[in-house]
Amino acid sequence: METAVEMADLVQEFVDSLASLPPAASEEDNIDRLQHLERAKRALAAAQASATNAFVEQRKAHEAGMRITTSEQLKGIEAEVGLARGESPFVGAALTYTATALCNVLPNTYAALADGRMSEYHARIVAEQTSHLSDAHRREIDGLIAHRVGKASSSQLRKLIQGHAYRLDRKAAEQRAAQNQRDRRVCLDPGSDGISYLTAELPTHQAVAVMDALQQQTNKRLAAQRRDAANTPDDLDNSDAEQPLTRDQVMADLFVELLTGQTTADGVTAEVVVVMHDSSLFGDDDVPAWIPGHGPLPAGMVKHWLADPQAAKFFRRMYTRATDGQLVALESKRRHFPEGLSKMLAIRDDTCATPWCNSPVEDADHRKPWAKGGTTSWANATGLCKRCNQRKENRGWSYTGTPDRLTVTTPTGHQYTVPTRPPISQIRHTTTDPPIGPIDIAWPAAA
């Protein structure tokens, strides 16, 4: 029986041989090398898919005898695959889904990946684009596209599969469109340099209607802007006057104003928590500000925003440990996390504390459950998303640690430990204390 150590040795040997390769002598040799390495990556992707599928089947067989509901089994499996590959539970689910499809209903696609004719990205496209079809239809399409494997571009592959799918099962295609409409949603994602992305996934006709309303309002405001400019006397010294707003700026401002009901886009009335060092707020320190769950903002931008007379400002002082910037604890005897403690958690953990999970913090969780004597305290609290919080209640999962470290143990006994300090402290204290070290992964002792 293979042990974790034997497998680790085998992989290490391969990694070492790659690292000790002499530089390729010519341009031709380098391109050859790229091709060989790409082939190895594809074969490795197939081996990972096969291992994922085998793990899923072993776990299902194991849990079937224990009468655990299917939905609970899957939740744990997907998250474990994600953790093992250094990805979020969400990505873990996608990887698990692709692996089981490749191994069970897409034999030609799997073979093409394993022998290097198809990339992992293209194999994923085949799995995703056929996901709404029956197993029989997936197998049929897998055969129908075999002649295009390795030749079609990703977009050609997608269209080819969609064409076959619509022909084979028109009803499923229509149901999918209806499901997409039911799945309409709005989400906020961090961008960079003080910008975030607010995305709405809407039925097409509604999205067009929103854009049309925005265009009309924009036209009105631009017309008013032009009238004002025309009425300004030419002889007035306008050298210091602000540049007229562009069409894009006007439309973005209107988007904020119409949704929040505020009179100007800058006068935000909703509560926005910003964490900022006093040295940045009152001095010239370069440490950026931080919006919990969203990331850094240039300090100057936040100071400019705070100076806006229309914005109401509330300050709350937070005490941090001098050595590494960790927030200081507050003890509470109440079961529900008091508001202040929940806010501190959202600031410390920033996003769900599960390693690699990108979801927002939704729950203040008792690491040691309240029912088992866990206290409502800073020392026993973790900020988690709802899915991770629910999953950790499943058999075999445990979250342990301190305010500074979190260790997640999965049903296979693997442990993942990450440091938990406020991201803003990790920026400030880099010189004395490195931010996030390599993730510690502990393998269980060989059985």
Residue 387: CB minimum distance to Zn ion, A: 6
Cβ 293 vs Cβ 314: under 8 Å: no
Cβ 380 vs Cβ 372: under 8 Å: no
Residue 360: CB minimum distance to Zn ion, A: 9
Strand partners, 417: 407, 440
Residue 403: CB minimum distance to Zn ion, A: 18
Strand ranges inside 268-347, DSSP E: 289-291, 295-297, 331-332
Closer residue to Zn ion (CB): 250 or 385: 385
Residue 20: CB minimum distance to Zn ion, A: 39
Closer residue to Zn ion (CB): 320 or 400: 400
Closer residue to Zn ion (CB): 275 or 406: 406
Closer residue to Zn ion (CB): 359 or 400: 359
Cα(412)–Cα(3) distance, integer angstroms: 14
Dig out the tokens for 229 from the structure.
Answer: 């400019």
Residue 180: CB minimum distance to Zn ion, A: 25
Contact positions vs Zn ion (CB under 5 A): 352, 354, 357, 359, 385, 388
Closer residue to Zn ion (CB): 159 or 386: 386
Cα(356)–Cα(336) distance, integer angstroms: 27
Closer residue to Zn ion (CB): 327 or 352: 352
Residue 408: CB minimum distance to Zn ion, A: 10
Dig out the tokens for 176 from the structure.
Answer: 């999918």
Cα(143)–Cα(137) distance, integer angstroms: 10
Quickly list H helices, 65-134. Answer: 70-84, 89-104, 107-114, 120-129
Closer residue to Zn ion (CB): 320 or 358: 358
Cβ 434 vs Cβ 324: under 8 Å: no
Pick the closest to residue 421 from 315, 290, 309, 302 (CA basis). 290
Residue 213: CB minimum distance to Zn ion, A: 36
Dig out the tokens for 21 from the structure.
Answer: 């390769």
Cα(272)–Cα(167) distance, integer angstroms: 50
Closer residue to Zn ion (CB): 145 or 346: 346
Amino acid at 301: M
Residue 354: CB minimum distance to Zn ion, A: 4
Pick the closest to residue 402 from 427, 431, 368 (CA basis). 368
Residue 353: CB minimum distance to Zn ion, A: 8
Closer residue to Zn ion (CB): 390 or 430: 390
Dig out the tokens for 133 from the structure.
Answer: 């079809």
Dig out the tokens for 431 from the structure.
Answer: 């010189």
Closer residue to Zn ion (CB): 142 or 365: 365
Distances (CA, A) of 285 to 71, 272, 428: 50, 22, 10
Strand ranges inside 153-194, DSSP E: 185-190
> What is the C-alpha radius of gyration for the chain, rounded to an integer number of angstroms?
27
